Structures are given as C-alpha cells and as structure tokens.
Structure 1
Amino acid sequence: MIVSSVGPTSARRRVLAGLATLVVAGGLLTTLGDAAPAGAEPGDVVVAENFDSGTLPAGWRAIDGEWKVVDGRLVGTSTSGNRKITFGRHLEHFRFSATVRFEKVNEATRWTALGLDVPASGATPWWIATMRSGSAASNGLEFAQLTPAGSWNVTNTTAAPYAAGTGRDVKVSIEVHGNQARWFFDGRQLMRTSSLQRSADGGQALVVNGATVSFDDVTVTELAPNGLLRPEGAPLTVIAHRGASAAAPENTLAAQEVARRAGSDWIENDVQPSRDGVPFVLHDGTVDRTTDGTGAIRNLTSAQLKALDAGSWFAPHFTGARLPTLAEQLADLRSRGGNLLLEIKGAHSRDEVARIVEVIRAERMTTRVFVQSFDVESLRHTRALAPELPLGLLRSTLDADPVALSKELGLAAYNPSDGALTTRPSVVADLHAAGVAVMVWTVDSATAWQRLEGYGVDGVITNRPAELAGWNAAQLQGGVGRPTVAVASPADGARLDRAQRPTLGVVTGNANTVTVTLDGEPATPGQVLDASRLAAGEHTIRVEANGPGGRTTVTTTFTVVADPTGLAHLVLTAQVEAGARHAMLNLLADGRYAQLASYAEQHAGRQVPQDAATIIAADARALLAAG
C-alpha cells in the first residue's frame, strides 16, 4: 500500500470521601486513578442510575436470580448459573460504565458481566463483557457470547493488573462501536475485540454467576459513530501494513493471519481491479515485485492473477501463496476475525469503486471496512455510493487546512505520513476537535511510536504489528514512562460547603508540561479554592500532562452545596453593612428564602457587595427550590 480516572461514586459516598491537600512537588507522581475513556461530545446519557431511590429503577427487568437495592447499590445474587437484569435500549455506539464490587463468591472463577447486546427478555444469543473475581487470571476478563444452544463462544481473554477479589470497588467501562468493543478496567484499556455480532434490538444487562455482586453508578452514554478516535486510557490503534508485511509476504492471507495473531486492530491492504474487473489485493501497479509473473494488474485477467505464486519471493515456506481477491480477503476476516483498512490504490472510476462497494456489501462487511485513498475522487465516489463506509484521506504532505478538507470530504480520519505530521503536529488536536481521527503511516520504530503517542495520534500503520502491540502493552504497564496525573484535592466527587477552602492539589509524573483548568479557565496547582466565591453546583477540574512518554488527561468534578449553614457563612463573611447583615440573617432564620434573594439583589453594590449579592441570591433561590 502506502508509499511516498476514577469514575464517579454515589452522592452518599461522595460526602464521605473527604478531602486531601496535595500539591505539585518536583514533578513526582503517585497515580490515584487513570482517566476514564473518553466519549463523543456531546453524548446523550441513556441510563444514569446510582440507586439512591432505594428501589429498582423503572424499566429494569429482573429476569432471574435475586435483584434488589440495598444501601444505595443494586445487588444481584446467583447461587449457581447465570442471573441477569435487563434495561436500556439498543444502541450501535455507546459506552457502558459501572462501579462493580464482588460481595461474595463461590470460588475465584465466578464472575459478573456487563451485557452489551441482550434482548429485554434475556433470551439468547447475547454478548457480554465478563470479569471474574480472580480477574488477574489469564481469562480474568473476557468478551463472550452465549449462543442459542447454551454454549459459550469466548472470543477474547486477558488478565487484569490485579484481582478484583471481594469488597473492592472496580471501575468497569466498555466502549462499543458496532461489532467492535474496548474493555476498560479502572480507566485503562486492557482488551479490544472486533467479533461482536449485533442484534437489531438488544439492550444492556447486568449478569452474575455464582456470586453476589453489587453495582453503583451504572451509566450508558450514546457515542458518535467514529470509533476510530482513541479514548483516554486506550493505547495506539495497531494497523498492520499490507498485513504483517515484515513477517509474511505482503497482501496475502498468510500476512493477514500473522497480523491477526499479532493482535492487530486493523489489517491494511490495497485493492486494484484485474482486466476483467475483479478487485484484487495488490499494492504495486504490476505483479513483477511480489509474484513470479510479470505485467500490469489491469492487463491481467483474474484467472491469470490467481495462477501466480505470491509467496516464494518472500521465503521458501510461503511458496504457493496466492493473490487474494477482495472477496476472499473479506470472507477470511469475517470468519476468522479482524477489520479491514482498505486503500483504493490509485485513480478509480465510479464503476470500479462501485464494484468494490458491491463486494464489501456481498460479504456483509460494511461495519468492518474503513476505506482510505490518496485519490480524492475515489473517496467522493465511495461516499456517494456507500455513505455507511468511513473514509480516510492519505497524505504525503499536510494540506493547508486539514480540518476544512476533512469536513468537505466527510472524513472519519485524516492519515498523513510520519514525516508530514512531524512538520505540524498541532493539527492532531485541531482534527480531534472536529471529530476526525489521525492514523499515521508507515512507522516501525519504538522511538517514533513514542513521539506519535506524544502527539496524541489515534493509530499507527506499521509493518511490525506484533512489536507495536507489545509496545502498547508496555505503555499500559508504565514501561515507557507515560505521564501520570492525579487530582488529589478536591477529591473527585467531593461536596463542599461554603466555609471550605481546599487547596487545588495536583500530582504529576514523567511530565514536561502540565495544564490545569477549573471550569475551562486557567488554574494553578496549590491555589486555594474559596467555596464562598464559587457558584453552587458542579465544577470541573481538567489536568493535561505532556511528556516524552505521551499525553495523559484527567478530569474530576466537585460540587459546591447550597445549604442554610453555608448561606449564613456567606452573609457573615462578606463585607456586608451591619444593617443589611442583620436583615438577611433574620430572613434566613425564618426560612424566607425568596425575600432574602430579593433583598440581596436590591441592595447589591451598596450595602451588599455585588459579587456576594449574586451568590447569596442564587443560594437562597436554590434552597427555595429544594423546599
């Protein structure tokens, strides 16, 4: 092909979380929690339950087992077998998150799961993301399907960094885009699949097996359809260039198999038509370099192309490998797993692109193919003929305005060469802000991967997918020094009264630069946050750290609470004239919040400072609304 964080807790436990005061000191970091995977913004929150009502939420259907709400958590019990509760609605693109705690297990192999595609009736088949209490085992985390025959089809397994055990809250999140899903454990992606088989109407579920498990903060958020964007906590997407072309003959099914076994997220290959119009997988314009034949591909019939040896040039034991047709490649991916990043090689007519689209649809692979090309007209043809296929534009040099061009072409990804991106890496952030992913070609060294991680790119096209997958694993374990960030104070989910003045505590490590904002405005670690000066309600702290190992972003929230005690503190501590102070305290004592709000506003800028009057009036009205 190519040439030139800690999740939220319930309101009740937030009050008990307390505050810690910690400031940046010498750039050292103690990781308190990784960022939760990022989703599309804005996104519709379809489900948001913390179970503080004390009863099962409306629309939640306990199919079997014992399900009840206890102390603000949903508790499911299974003495044996699979027991589930269903809810939500069918979504193609969503993030499903929950705080999960094993309360009791029959044995360490017992498990709980987030149901990703489960009929409301609980009937099979259904797909789940499973976590064992012994989650550090090799199959501690799984993606699996329960078939109509009652057998398990386990497609992916991995080990978590530690065992969930019993009595420990674990933040679990699964991000689903069609047949693809990412498994996040305490904010870190540990596994990915492209093997989900989606139904037309399956919703979400919680499942327990041989255990008693409690759940809190269950949320389901609809995401934008561009699953190519890399969430926070996820490693670089691994894209195998022409298959695993460093280990097997390029653009063959053998290279595809090696790439699949290496852990590639996508197989990248090229397509061109034979003389009789059959789309074949081949990079060069001729067959001379990679087969025992000669001639231009467009001058050879499909029968002539199928007779060529496409493997012996690479190594003797690949003798007999054949050039695959696009249909053969897609059939292999459909049956054995994997996704295709398909480059339309060179200029193609509308009819030639239509033939490619026809093959993709005939092989039922429209949800697993991503089309890219250097040729803008080929992309325009693809968009007109198959708007369901995501598009990527390949570039050897950067355009003057990649964002504008991406919008014009309807791109899901803008894919520059490594050399081109290095001239202006800031375009990554610009493209991300427009919802466009960045896939860089063709990069085979760990030094370059680390640099690209720092740029924030989404994926890397490489001849060495196994090495990149291993590098990603080391990255997740901290082996390459990715920046780490924690907001220690105010604690995530903290509820502050008006009298509190916590220090903004941020701890970072392996970071060259750290940027902190409070509600989008610049903030400084170590500064005192005066709760009497902040509006009542939720406030957001965002910290971004950049270093040689990449970029890490953490977002936390705290809430300033409006209550009578805090309101009294505001009146007493503001520079209010004595008469006005006495009048407002009397109104507060009598619970006359509407009059108090009006009084503060009427005397603002005279007996009551303007900024204090605004906050006093807002808190009084909040108390009035609360009854």
Structure 2
Amino acid sequence: MVAVGAALAVTGGLVAAVQPTTPAAAQPGDVVVDEDFSAGTLPAGWRAVDGEWTVRDGRLRGTATSGTRKITFGRHLTSFRFEATVRFESVAEPTRWTALGLDVPADGSTPWWIATMRSGTTAANGLEFAQLTTGNAWNVTNTAAAGYAAGTGRDVRVAIEVHGNRARWFLDGRQLLTTSSLARSADGGQALVVNGGTVSFDDVRVTELPDSGYLRPEGAPMTVVAHRGASSAAPENTLVAQEVARRAGADFVENDVQPSSDGVPFVLHDTTVNRTTSGTGPIRGLTAAQLKTLDAGSWFAPHFAGATLPTLAEQLADLRTRGGNLLLEIKGAHTRDQVARIVEVIRAERMTGRVFVQSFEVDALRYTRELAPELPTGLLRGTLDADPVATARELGLTAYNPSGAALATRPGIVADLHAAGIAVMVWTINSPAQWKQLDELGVDGVITDRPAELAGWNAAGQQADEGNEPGVTVSIAAPADGAKLNRAQQPVLTVPATGADTVTVTLDGRPVPVGEPLDLRTLAVGPHTLRAEATGPTGTVSTESTVTVTATQAGLGHLILTSRAEEQALTVLLNHLVKGRYDELSRYADRQAGKLVPAAVARVIAGDARILADR
C-alpha cells in the first residue's frame, strides 16, 4: 500500500489529524493508492469527512442512513485510473447510489466531481458523471444504463479513467459511459461516496497515467470523432454542426482552421467560401469582417439559414462552456506566425488540455510542437509512409491518422504503432461494415460524418459484450436491510432481479409473496430474516437482509384497531393505550384472550404492552 496524506484516527465519528508527510510527485505508471484493508483499520491519509466509515472483514464499509457521506484520500492527479471492487450491502431503494470521487477537496467542500453507480444500474441513469456545485445543486452531465443490475450482495469491479476534463466509465471491464465535461480543480483528490445505504469496498487502486490518453484502453470502444461536426446532419464546420455532434455523443469534433486575410483563424474546410457559404472567393483573400457577413447554413437546408462561419476563438469558447474536445486540422500551408496565432487563440481560450492538432502539413506540425509542446499532434496521410513508426517518432506525434483506404493496404501497422505508444485515428469512415473491421484491428478512433450512428454502434457492441456477464442477480430493495419497523407500517416487499426465471422469498423460512405488503401484526418483537433466491439459465443466486420489529405506541394502536376485538374491548384497550397504562392494558388483553379479543392477537397486544411498560 502507498499511504498518502495525513494519518487519521477515527473514534465515535470524530476525526483527529496526524501531521502529514509530503509525498513525492507521481510519475506515469506509479500506483499512488493501493489498499486492500487487510490491516483492519482506516489507512493513513484517509479522511472520513462524514458518515460511518469502518474496516471490517477486510473491506471498507461506508454507511449513509440519509444524505450523502464521503471519505477522501489520495492526491491531485491530472490523468489517472481509479478502480475498486464495490458491493452494495444494503440500500433504501434501487435508486440509491455509491460513487468514486474524481476531484474532491480533502475536506469534502464543494464543488466536486464523481462517477456514480446506482444499485439499480439498469435504470437510464444507472451510471452517471456528475458535479455537486458550490450552490449544493447537482449538475449531471452524462448518464447511461448497464445491461445488468449491480443489486446487493454482489461484487462489481468499477474503474474510471481520467485524462484532464475527459473520463471513461468501466463496469466489470466494459466501457459504458464517457464525458468531456469535467471541470478540474487545482488540488482535489479522490473519494468514495455513499448515498442511502451501506456499501463495502475492496482493492482500491489509483494509478498515475500519461497525460495523452488517446490509446484505446482494453474494454473501451473506438473514440467517435465528428468530421467537420455532425456534417451529415448539419452544415459542416458551423457551431450548429458542433452542437449536433455533441448531442450525438461524439468524443471529439474535427474541424479545419485557416486564416482570413487579416490573420484571424476561421473554421472552414475549402480554400474558397464558394461551396458552403453565400459568398465567393478565397478565404485568405477576405477579411474577418467580410467572412462574418456570410450565410454558412442555407446551402445545406433552409432552416439553417443565418448560420455563420465561426472563428476558432468562437468554436473553442463554445466547447469550453458547453463541453467537448477538438481535433483541429491546420488546413493547407501555414507560416510559423500563422501557427503561432492559432496557438495564441487556443491558450487565450484556456483549451490547451482539450485540443488535438492534426495536419497533412509536416511543417505545421513541427511549428506546433515547437510553439506548444503541450498540444498533442497527429499526422494525416492519404498514403502510408514507408515506416510510419519512424515518421511518428521523428515528428514527436501522439497519433498517426491514415485514410481508411491507406490503412487497408497494411493493416498490421496498427499493432506496430501501438507498440510504440502511438494512437491511430482513421478517416473518413461512414459504414458499419468498415467500423467493424477497424474495431477488430484495434483502431483507437474513427473520424466520421455520422457520429450519432457510430456512437450507437459502439453502444450496441458494448451491450452485446455485457450479455456475457453472469446474468442472474437478485436484491431486496424494500424493506431495507437493518430497517426497524413498527406494526403500523406495511412495507411492500420489493425484490429486483435480472436474468431470473423464478424468484422466491421467505420470511424466517416461510414463503411470502413479492410485491405485497408484509403483515407485521403477528411477528414477534425482534429481528427477522428475509431471504431471496433467484434462478435462471446461468444459475442460482441468493441474498439475505434483516429487519427488526419494534414495540411502539403507534404500532400497538394499529394492532388494537385491526384486532377484530369486540367493541367494548376496543374501548377499554384504547383507553389504556391513550393514557399510557400499559400494565393494565397487558393484563386486560391476557384476560380477554379468546373471549372479547381473538387469542392470537391478544397475546401480541399483551406482549407489546409489557415491553412498553418496562421502558
């Protein structure tokens, strides 16, 4: 285990800090946190901000009977993989959740970002990326459903891979959700969070990663890159095409940049404005003011009339405020000063962590690397170099981006480039048959005019892979494990199950029907065991929970009113109850058992009254 931060002593919910030591800076590949809780105590540097956090049986257990409770640890990292084995021990209802905190201050103060999992993971929002804002409001940026429920009593492996503002959500080794909307702090670390239940954790690991994150991790689909925005659905290289691409689930928007005659970088593919605007002439022969008067939408469809050519600054501002990343092609020959202007705009818009520069022009890539070494670069190729790996190394590339036709001549270069740590993004591919071929080759990203279709194709493949998971799950959602119930309550027995042909539930070994209220009137005061068993094609699973029946005045009143006692007995019993004469009530119930009060219920009334009398 690598201990990080201040050691803590936790007793009775109080936290006492021990003087921390300053850790050495992490390097890519370093395991920053590695904890299996075998020591039996909270690790040094783990801060139980709120809630009940204990180590028991080699697992960390967090309980939140109400609200959200968290424990913080780790250190601030730009790029990292955060993974843990997670088990819902009990939940108040399937909508309750746990989360891995991705950027959380050590004291738990807002704002903070989390990757959330509900016990009912098959819900549309079973998985989420979300932020708790300084106004204590939730900003949920991305949601997804898993193909099976985490349920209760079952270990699932959760992993989140973070690269700056981007993150990938993995459940049992399969990527199910991505985001490009994380707003990172300067010092937030990691956390575990529980809401509305008890959750246990094991094998918590945080690993520093290289900053790029463009190689496709195992279990992840291909990155979706929207060519000129969603150019099959909206006018290319406009903000509306960018918005459609964002809503379609694209990981990156790919656009082209060229300078106006007065040196302002504009987003346009062609060398002239003729094809895609209401104007004519070369873009480099028109001023920024002239370019902004042009209609860049009507050519595509009438209802896009009025769309304008965006400047690079406008495009980046939109991505920064509304979410998204940019694969920016420097189009055509550029001087060093022209590339410097592009870099200046990227930095002014605070987007260096979210822009990837590519070009057919080797000089443009050399200038970019010289002027902004923090920006990743990719070389576009219509035909392959004799040695793509050598070319990529010589230019210091992050990615080598060939056309689909070029890659088809030597598909083995994907493995060669990956072995050298270089990503491969292929252009411009619009058919599912080709997506399948590229996926099988291990290509990292696909540039496509149809981002919505590729995102859907990816999701369908992920769901098919999930079908290989153990299919039978069962949990007892209500009444919640550990619930204390009085006889006036009638909790509806709720048992979510997946992949099951049959589900049976017993209460203290006797069968009880699912979906109907539990009758607590004849149960003894004290704990009772619910057991659910589900059987399906892949086997049988079971889970248990414990509820406790308590004696209360409200519960005793309900018992008396529903006892079917004779009217005169009801009057006496209720009179004793209202005046708190529990001894007299118990004696009267005993005397009238089998006479004015049915025998079985009279015994329960007398027993509860004696318990209340002794308090």
Match of 2:29 in 1: 43
SS for the counterpart of 2:191 is: strand
Amino acid at match of 1:150: N
Tell me how far apart the structure 1 counterparts of residues 172 and 137 of structure 2 sit (CA, whole Å). Answer: 29
Q: Which residue among 226, 250, 256 is the counterpart of 2:236?
A: 250
Within the alignment, does 1:201 sit opposite 2:194 as a pair? no
Cα deviation, residue 125, structure 1: 1.0
Aligned-pair identity (%): 78
| 1:241-293 deviation digits (Å, cap 9, x = unpaired) | 00011111110111111111111000000000000000000000000111111
Amino acid at match of 1:455: L
SS for the counterpart of 1:324 is: coil
Match of 2:522 in 1: none
1:167-178 paired onto structure 2 within 5 Å: 167-178=153-164
Q: Which residue among 96, 112, 125 is the counterpart of 1:126?
A: 112
Cα deviation, residue 485, structure 1: 11
Tell me how far apart the structure 2 counterparts of residues 215 and 68 of structure 1 sit (CA, whole Å). Answer: 11
Larger Rg belongs to: 2
Amino acid at match of 1:310: A
Cα deviation, residue 478, structure 1: 2.3
Query: TM-score scaled by structure 1?
Result: 0.70
Match of 1:364 in 2: 350
Match of 2:578 in 1: none
Tell me how far apart the structure 2 counterparts of residues 146 and 478 of structure 1 sit (CA, whole Å). Answer: 33
Within the alignment, does 1:300 sit opposite 2:281 as a pair? no
CA 1:449–1:41: 2 relative to 1, 3 Å: farther
Match of 2:143 in 1: 157
Amino acid at match of 2:353: T
1:61-140 paired onto structure 2 within 5 Å: 61-140=47-126
Amino acid at match of 1:80: S
In the alignment, structure 2 segments of 5+ residues that lack a partner are 1-25, 471-615
CA 1:184–1:485: 2 relative to 1, 3 Å: closer
SS for the counterpart of 2:66 is: coil
Within the alignment, does 1:190 sit opposite 2:170 as a pair? no
Match of 1:145 in 2: 131
CA 1:113–1:485: 2 relative to 1, 3 Å: closer
Amino acid at match of 1:65: G
Tell me how far apart the structure 2 counterparts of residues 54 and 233 of structure 1 sit (CA, whole Å). Answer: 33
1:191-270 paired onto structure 2 within 5 Å: 191-270=177-256
Q: Which residue among 459, 466, 472 is the counterpart of 2:445?
A: 459
CA 1:331–1:300: 2 relative to 1, 3 Å: same
Cα deviation, residue 435, structure 1: 1.0
Task: State which drifts further: 50-59 or 278-287.
Answer: 50-59
Tell me how far apart the structure 1 counterparts of residues 304 and 134 of structure 2 sit (CA, whole Å). Answer: 40
SS for the counterpart of 1:399 is: coil
Amino acid at match of 1:304: Q
Within the alignment, does 1:56 sit opposite 2:27 as a pair? no
Match of 1:403 in 2: 389
Amino acid at match of 2:128: E
Match of 1:18 in 2: none
Match of 1:417 in 2: 403
Match of 1:614 in 2: none
Match of 1:181 in 2: 167
Amino acid at match of 2:216: R
Within the alignment, does 1:344 sit opposite 2:330 as a pair? yes
Cα deviation, residue 401, structure 1: 1.3
SS for the counterpart of 2:65 is: coil
Query: TM-score scaled by structure 2?
Result: 0.71
Within the alignment, does 1:277 sit opposite 2:277 as a pair? no
CA 1:119–1:231: 2 relative to 1, 3 Å: same
Structure 1 runs (4+) deviating above 4 angstroms are none
Tell me how far apart the structure 1 counterparts of residues 65 and 396 of structure 2 sit (CA, whole Å). Answer: 52
In the alignment, structure 1 segments of 5+ residues that lack a partner are 1-39, 487-627
- Aligned residues of 2:99 and 2:115 also touching (Cα < 8 A): yes
The CA RMSD over aligned residues, in Å, is: 1.7
Cα deviation, residue 310, structure 1: 0.8
Amino acid at match of 2:63: T
Cα deviation, residue 147, structure 1: 1.0
Amino acid at match of 1:168: R
Tell me how far apart the structure 1 counterparts of residues 432 and 249 of structure 2 sit (CA, whole Å). Answer: 17
| 1:19-72 deviation digits (Å, cap 9, x = unpaired) | xxxxxxxxxxxxxxxxxxxxx997111111111111111111111111111100
SS for the counterpart of 1:78 is: strand
Cα deviation, residue 165, structure 1: 1.3
